[in-house]
Chain A
Amino acid sequence: MPFGSVVFAFAVGALIVGATGANPFSAYAGLLCGGLGIGCTQGENPALEISNTIVFAIPLITAGVAVALPFRAGLFNIGAEGQLLAGSIACTAIGIKFNTLPAPILLPMVLVGGMAAGALWAGIPGVLKATVGAHEVVTTIMLNYIAQWLLRFLIIGGPLQLGPGTSKSLPIGEGARLATLLPADNSLIIFGLPASVYRVHTGLLIALAAAALFAFLLWRTSFGYEIRAVGQSQKAARYAGVSVRRTIILTMVIAGAFSGLAGAVQIAGVDHNLTDKYFSDTTGFDAIAVALLGLGSAVGIVLAAVLFGALHAGGAIMQSDAGISSNLVLVLQALILFSIAANFVGAIRRGLPFGRAPAALPPELPPAAGLMTEAAAAPPEPT
Chain B
Amino acid sequence: MAHKHFRFLGVVAAAMVLTMACGGTSGGGTPTKTYKIGLVTDIGGLNDKSFNHLADIGLEKAKTDFKIQGDVKESKSGDDYVPNLTDFATKKYDLVIGVGFLMQEAVGTVSGQFPDIHFAIIDGAGTDAKGVDLKHPNVQSLYFKEQDAGAMVGVMAGWLEKNGKAKKNQHIIGAVGGISIPPVDHYIAGYKWAAKMEDPSIQVKIGYSNNFTDPAKCKGVAKSQIDAGADIVFQVAGGCGLGVLQQAGQSGVYSIGVDADQKDADPSVIASALKKVDVATYTAIKNVVNNQFQGGALTFSIANEGAGYSIDNLDVPAELKAELDKVLGQIKSGALTPPADIPA
Considering only residues 41-92 of chain B, those with a C-beta below 8 Å from chain A are 43, 71-80, 82-84, 86-88, 90-92
Whether B113 pairs with A197 at a CB distance below 8 angstroms is yes
B224 within 8 A of A: no
Given contacts A43-B92, A193-B90, A320-B72, contact A281 B113 (CB under 8 A): no
Q: How many residues does chain A have at the interface if contact means C-beta atoms less than 8 Å apart? A: 44
The total number of A-B Cβ pairs within 8 Å is 89
**Secondary structure of the B contact surface, majority rule:** mixed
Given contacts A319-B72, A326-B76, contact A48 B131 (CB under 8 A): no
What is the minimal beta-carbon distance from B208 to any residue of chain A, in angstroms?
Answer: 10
What's the Cα separation between A121 and B109 when bound, in Å? 34
What is the minimal beta-carbon distance from A114 to any residue of chain B, in angstroms?
Answer: 18
What's the Cα separation between A48 and B179 when bound, in Å? 38
Whether A165 pairs with B130 at a CB distance below 8 angstroms is no
1/0 per residue, CB under 8 A from B, across A251-276: the answer is 00000000000000000001011011
Whether B91 pairs with A43 at a CB distance below 8 angstroms is yes
Given contacts A165-B182, A320-B73, A325-B74, contact A197 B86 (CB under 8 A): yes
Given contacts A42-B91, A43-B91, contact A319 B129 (CB under 8 A): no
Closest to A270 in B: B79
- Residues of the B chain whose Cβ atoms lie less than 8 Å from the Cβ of A186: 112-113
- Residues of the B chain whose Cβ atoms lie less than 8 Å from the Cβ of A312: 76, 79
1/0 per residue, CB under 8 A from A, across B234-246: the answer is 0000000000000
A108 within 8 A of B: no
- Residues of the A chain whose Cβ atoms lie less than 8 Å from the Cβ of B38: 320
Whether A282 pairs with B181 at a CB distance below 8 angstroms is no
- Residues of the B chain whose Cβ atoms lie less than 8 Å from the Cβ of A315: 76
Given contacts A43-B92, A280-B43, contact A316 B73 (CB under 8 A): yes
Whether B92 pairs with A199 at a CB distance below 8 angstroms is no
What is the minimal beta-carbon distance from B81 to any residue of chain A, in angstroms?
Answer: 9
Whether A163 pairs with B131 at a CB distance below 8 angstroms is yes
A194 within 8 A of B: yes
- Residues of the B chain whose Cβ atoms lie less than 8 Å from the Cβ of A277: 43, 77-79
Whether B113 pairs with A170 at a CB distance below 8 angstroms is no
What is the minimal beta-carbon distance from A166 to any residue of chain B, in angstroms?
Answer: 6
Given contacts A273-B129, A277-B79, contact A44 B74 (CB under 8 A): no
Whether A156 pairs with B210 at a CB distance below 8 angstroms is yes
Chain A residues within 8 Å of B, Cβ to Cβ: 42-45, 48, 52, 56, 156-157, 162-167, 170-171, 186, 193-194, 196-197, 199, 270, 272-273, 275-278, 280-282, 312-313, 315-317, 319-320, 325-326, 329-330
